[in-house]
Chains A and B, each alone.
Chain A
């Protein structure tokens, strides 16, 4: 099969599947098209020091585990890409980076709109607290104080995002 025919067949196949073919390399960019939004980067730009401190997120560094240790004992410098530095400022700055923002947050789907969104990484944090992959145990659940801190911080961050008062995406 000649290459041109093969490409045409493939493009037709994509169309049939509802998958838009990629734009050709010489296509003129649409000046009006909005750039794709990296929701996690946008979220990181909305994570404010005021919100972080008000929610007492820095206390996660001192969250106790079943071993008598606290999160910062192992995660002060980012073990397993979860940063819980004893310095609340340093912890916030690190958690706003692309590499660490998924420590506390994850991509999800808004239940009402079906649109992609950001939410606290409850499943991961709960699984770790319940001993997944040999992690030390720690208290989990909606009523747990550190989880409540995270919920409050997520709420403040979402409000900032909705109000458009964020820093540029990081």
Chain B
């Protein structure tokens, strides 16, 4: 059974570098299912699960205590489905934005990866990106369109406008139950990035991954597309739909007013032709 042989090999490698990995669920890849798996999924199961089980599961497994993201399931067999629900962890499969790599590189509770572990994770992310993003089948990940409205908007967003409109205060926006937004969204949970560092928050909101946090697109009957604040979502979240309550513009909230001001400044810049070239920024190089 090559599958289990591969797992055993991965276990030996991991054990040699960082400790001892004992598969809690060695049958997580039944032979029958293995045939149905994509290559990237197989790579994850064979090479990444042992790393996650050893390095991450104690704090990020479903049974862990605390408010940190539980991006791993209870069983190893559920790791894949669960981690896909956390774009902030996978960076939508861009190593430069993937918390699974960047958090560790920046120092994370004394957890470190070996070079081989880091490479295994990066290889898996690359495989997923290719499988999900090669729409034209040319063997490369398609680049985000530079001409779509959100890409144009990213080119118009400026840090000085962001600062002038006090957008960084969203990180400190208080919810009724769980403290400020940054408590959960500091690292981009659910594709909403609310870092206490306003400049970092701005930088992240220009990526395709996070620009939908504050904005969406309105299409008029004539096909004209206009970027608009994602007020429907932001209001709905504030009303507590599986999310802690917070005040919205309907109660005269100051943070919503800040968003309106940032939108106005950015739109003014767009309409006066003062934007940078359309396009999302290039993600940072893999760490």
Taking beta carbons and an 8 Å cutoff, which residues of A are in contact with B?
A: 66-70, 72-81, 83, 86, 97, 99-100, 131-134, 136-137
Closest to A76 in B: B232
Q: Which residues of B contact A70 (CB under 8 A)?
A: 236, 241
- B106: interface (CB < 8 Å): no
| A-contact 0/1 string along B235-251, CB 8 Å cutoff | 01000011100000000
Q: Which residues of A contact B241 (CB under 8 A)?
A: 70
| Closest 6 A/B residue pairs (Cβ) | A78-B219, A73-B233, A77-B218, A66-B85, A67-B190, A79-B217
Report the minimal beta-carbon distance from B197 to chain A, rounded to whole angstroms: 23
Q: Is the Cβ of B219 less than 8 Å from the Cβ of A137?
A: no
- Give the secondary structure class of B's interface: mixed
- B59: interface (CB < 8 Å): no
Q: Is the Cβ of B190 less than 8 Å from the Cβ of A74?
A: no
Taking beta carbons and an 8 Å cutoff, which residues of B are in contact with A?
A: 84-85, 87, 92, 132-133, 135, 142, 190-191, 208-209, 212, 216-219, 221, 223, 228, 230, 232-233, 236, 241-243
Closest to A78 in B: B219
Report the minimal beta-carbon distance from B284 to chain A, rounded to whole angstroms: 17
Q: Which residues of B contact A75 (CB under 8 A)?
A: 216
Q: Which residues of A contact B230 (CB under 8 A)?
A: 73-74
Highest count of chain B CB atoms <10 Å: which of A70, A79, A99: A79
Choose from A86, A97, A137 the contact partner of B84 (Cβ within 8 Å): A137
Q: Can you report 28 A-B residue pairs in the complex whose CB atoms are below 8 A from each other?
A: A66-B84, A66-B85, A67-B85, A67-B87, A67-B191, A68-B242, A69-B190, A70-B241, A73-B216, A73-B232, A73-B236, A74-B212, A74-B216, A76-B216, A78-B217, A78-B219, A79-B216, A79-B217, A80-B217, A86-B232, A97-B221, A99-B223, A100-B219, A131-B132, A132-B133, A133-B133, A134-B87, A136-B87
| Bound form: Cα–Cα A74–B242 in Å | 17
Q: Is the Cβ of A134 less than 8 Å from the Cβ of B209?
A: yes
| Bound form: Cα–Cα A86–B233 in Å | 11
Report the minimal beta-carbon distance from A140 to chain B, rounded to whole angstroms: 13
Report the minimal beta-carbon distance from B279 to chain A, rounded to whole angstroms: 16
Choose from B92, B221, B228, B236 the contact partner of A134 (Cβ within 8 Å): B92
Q: Is the Cβ of A137 less than 8 Å from the Cβ of B232?
A: no
**A74-B230, A77-B218 in contact; A68/B190 too (CB < 8 A)?**
yes
Other 19 A-B pairs with CB < 8 A, given A68-B243, A77-B219, A79-B219: A66-B85, A67-B190, A72-B232, A73-B230, A73-B232, A73-B233, A74-B233, A75-B216, A76-B232, A77-B216, A78-B219, A79-B216, A81-B219, A86-B232, A100-B219, A133-B142, A134-B92, A134-B208, A136-B87
| Bound form: Cα–Cα A22–B216 in Å | 44
Report the minimal beta-carbon distance from A78 to chain B, rounded to whole angstroms: 3
Q: Which residues of B contact A67 (CB under 8 A)?
A: 85, 87, 190-191
**A74-B216, A133-B135, A134-B92 in contact; A69/B84 too (CB < 8 A)?**
no
Report the minimal beta-carbon distance from A63 to chain B, rounded to whole angstroms: 13
Q: Which residues of A contact B191 (CB under 8 A)?
A: 67, 136
Q: Which residues of A contact B242 (CB under 8 A)?
A: 68
Report the minimal beta-carbon distance from B281 to chain A, rounded to whole angstroms: 15
Q: Which residues of A contact B133 (CB under 8 A)?
A: 132-134
Q: Which residues of A contact B84 (CB under 8 A)?
A: 66, 131, 137
Q: Which residues of B contact A80 (CB under 8 A)?
A: 217
| Bound form: Cα–Cα A68–B234 in Å | 12
Q: Which residues of B contact A99 (CB under 8 A)?
A: 219, 221, 223
Closest to B217 in A: A79
Report the minimal beta-carbon distance from B35 to chain A, rounded to whole angstroms: 18
Report the minimal beta-carbon distance from B179 to chain A, rounded to whole angstroms: 17
Q: Is the Cβ of A133 less than 8 Å from the Cβ of B132?
A: yes
| Bound form: Cα–Cα A67–B241 in Å | 12
Report the minimal beta-carbon distance from B92 to chain A, rounded to whole angstroms: 4
| Bound form: Cα–Cα A97–B219 in Å | 12
